[in-house]
Structure 1
Amino acid sequence: MDIRQLEYFLAIVDHGGFNRAAAALYVSQPALSQTVRSLERDLAADLFHRIGKRAVLTEAGRALIEPARAAVRGMETARASVDAVQELRAGRLDIAAMPSPAVEPLTSMIRDFGGRHPGVQVRVRAAFTPQDVTDMVRAGAGELGLLTTSGPLPERGVVSHPVGVQGLVLLTPPDGPFPPGRPVAREELAGHRLIIVQRGTAVRAYVDELREHGVEFAVAAETEHRASVLPMVLEGVGLAVVTDSWRRTAERAGALVLDLEPNAELRIALISRRGPLSPAARAFLDRALTEPR
């Protein structure tokens, strides 16, 4: 068994099939299949059920995912350590991030880091809830994670590094029901149509708590695609509660952004796995923690 075999195996898992994995790796599909069959012989177990053009993980394949990621991550850390001698002129850093902090402060963090280490590619991987971010960092799918939460910061298996706080705001069309410049009390949301996001986020928790306080509203749409919220607001589908990180983007797009009363204070944190980090992750973390946000 070697790292290349594990990288090919994970590419099939991450890209959903042999053909897409081969295209992403810039190798031929027969070469990819041969490498994976060699890995299966080494392990004496089938890793995929091959059903037509589909590749479905076997139980053995599912069991291999986490140790394979750990092995590949360890090799990438070793390679990145060599790059560190060359002042991080090359390498890649994977960051698992929730949609809202991925808008800000992650944009500023990547800008600052990229200005110092332009040769290091930062790859942002999507995660929808704080638990998703934590699970991805624990499993090695992201070396760092960025999340917002109204609850305690995660501790089991990771190290949390607070980087700031954010509040919540209300997005409305420019001709919406509330005047600009005045905070909106939660009771004023009664009777309106709201665009909501999936459970497990602080934004969804705030909206769910409205009904606990007697504020009845209609759900205009529920979406897991956070990027679709702003377009739906601008098209008049409904109003939306989002984190303050969307303020600048929403205002530039023409939406009205209003403060909420009472508000919620969300903590923003970078999380890292316990143990040694790659030089790129360490440099990114140090930069993010020293720069004011």
Structure 2
Amino acid sequence: MDVRQLEYFLAVVDHGGFNRAASALYLSQPSLSQAIRTLERDLGSDLFHRIGRRAVLTDAGLALIEPAREAVRSLQLARASVESVHGLHGGQVDIAAMPSQAIEPLTEMIRRFTQVHPEVSVKVQAAFTPRDVTEMVRTGVSELGLLAAPVGIANGDVRAYSLPEQRFVLLSPPDGPFAPNVPVHHSQLAGQRLIVGQKGTGIRKYVDDLQAQGVALSVAVETEHRVAILPLVLGGTGLAVVTDAWRGWAEQSGALVLDLEPSVSLQIALVSRRAVLTPAARAFLESAVLQAPDPLA
């Protein structure tokens, strides 16, 4: 068993099958299958059930995921540490981020980091809930994560660094039901149709809580595709509650961005693995938390 075999195994897991993993690895599908068969023989256990074109993890395969990620990350750390002896002249930072926070503060974090370390690339991976982010960081899919939650950030197997909170705001088309520059009380959302994200997100919880409090709003569209929210609002399908990270983009697109009363915010945190980080990830973390240097735990 070698690290490359483990990288191949994780590619099949992450891409959901042999064909897509082979494409991502620039390998032929038979070569990848043979490498996995060799790994299975070395371990003495099947890692996947082959069901037609599908590859479903066996119990042994599930048990291998975290050790495999740790082994691959350890090798990456060793290589990156040696390469960084004379400064950061390459490498990659992996960050799992929720959609709204990928707009801000992540874009500003990346801008600041790449100005200092232009030779380091940044890979942003999509995660839709705080649980998704922390799980991706905990299991080594990503070294860093950016998340938002309505209450305190749970730490557990990750280390969390607090960032400035983000307030909820209301997106409306310019000819919508509310006047520009006038805050909207949440009770005024009664009778309105809203576009919402999936359950498990902070902005969805805000809307669900209003309904639980008796605000008679209705859900016009539920979408996991956050990029669809603004076009739907501008098209008149409904209004949307988002964080003020959207403000600049939404206003440039012609939408009204209205404050909500009473003000409610999401807590934002950058999280990292508790294990040793690669030099590139450490440098990104240090750059990102200059204004919030103390970890929550």
Give the percent of matched residue pairs that are identical in Structure 1 and Structure 2.
63
Structure 1 match to 2:295: none
C-alpha separation between the residues in 2 aligned to 1:134 and 1:204? 19
1:291, CA displacement in angstroms? Answer: 5.6
Distance across 1 between alignment mates of 2:218 and 2:289:
41
Q: How far does residue 105 in structure 1 lie from its aligned partner after superposition? A: 0.5
- Equivalent residue number for residue 13 of structure 2: 13
Question: Is structure 2 residue 138 aligned with structure 1 residue 147?
Answer: no
Deviation at 1:173, TM superposition (A): 0.8
Q: Distance in 2 between matches of 1:141 and 1:38?
A: 24
- The amino acid of 1:94's aligned partner reads D
> 1:40 aligned to 2:40?
yes
1:140-289 equivalent positions in 2, closer than 5 A: 140-289=140-289
Aligned residue for 1:180, secondary structure, equals coil
Tell me the CA shift for residue 177 of structure 1.
0.6
Residue aligning to 1:103: 103
Q: Which runs of 5+ in 2 are unaligned?
A: 293-297
Match of 1:93 in 2: 93
Give the partner amino acid of 2:277.
L
Cα distance between partner residues in 2 of 1:207 and 1:58: 39
Give, as a single letter, the amino acid of the residue that structure 1 aligns with 2:100. Answer: S
State the alpha-carbon separation in 2 of the partners of residues 153 and 15 from structure 1: 29
2:146 & 2:112 partners in 1: Cα distance?
16
SS in structure 2 of the partner of residue 290 of structure 1: coil
CA distance in 1, matches of 2:51, 2:118: 43
Q: How many Å separate the matches in 2 of 1:83 and 1:164?
A: 34
Residue 64 of structure 1 and its aligned partner are, at CA, apart by 1.2
1:242 match: secondary structure = strand
Q: CA deviation at 1:262?
A: 0.7
- The gaps in structure 1 that reach 5 residues or longer are none
Q: 1:211: Cα distance to partner?
A: 2.1
Structure 1: distance between partners of 2:75 and 2:175: 55
SS in 1 for 2:169: strand
Q: Which residue number in structure 1 is paired with residue 76 of structure 2?
A: 76
Give the alignment's Cα RMSD to 1 decimal. Answer: 1.3
Cα distance per residue 1:174-206 (max 9 Å; x no partner): 111101010101111000101111222221121
Give distance in 1, aligned partners of 2:86 and 2:42.
Answer: 36
- Partner in structure 1 of residue 114 of structure 2: 114
Q: What secondary structure, in the 3-state scheme, does the structure 2 residue paired with 1:167 have? A: strand
For 1:169 and 1:228, the matched residues in 2 are separated by 17
The letter for the 1-side match of 2:159 is V
When structure 1 is superposed on structure 2, of 156-165 and 177-186 the one drifting more is 156-165
Paired residue type of 2:267: R
Answer with 44-53 or 123-132: which moved more: 44-53
Q: Which amino acid aligns with 2:184?
A: V
Displacement of 1:54 in angstroms is: 2.4
How far residue 91 of structure 1 moved from its aligned partner, in angstroms, is 1.1
- Offset at 1:246? 0.7
SS of alignment partner, residue 220 of structure 1: strand
Which TM-score applies when normalising by structure 1? 0.96
| Higher mean C-alpha displacement, 271-280 vs 182-191 | 271-280
Q: Quote the offset at 1:171 in angstroms.
A: 0.4
Cα distance in 1 for partners of 2:140, 2:65 equals 10
Off by >3 Å, runs of 4+ in structure 1? none
Aligned equivalents of 1:83, 1:267: Cα separation in 2? 36
- In structure 1, what is the Cα distance between the partners aligned to 2:209 and 2:278? 41
1-structure distance, mates of 2:54, 2:39: 19
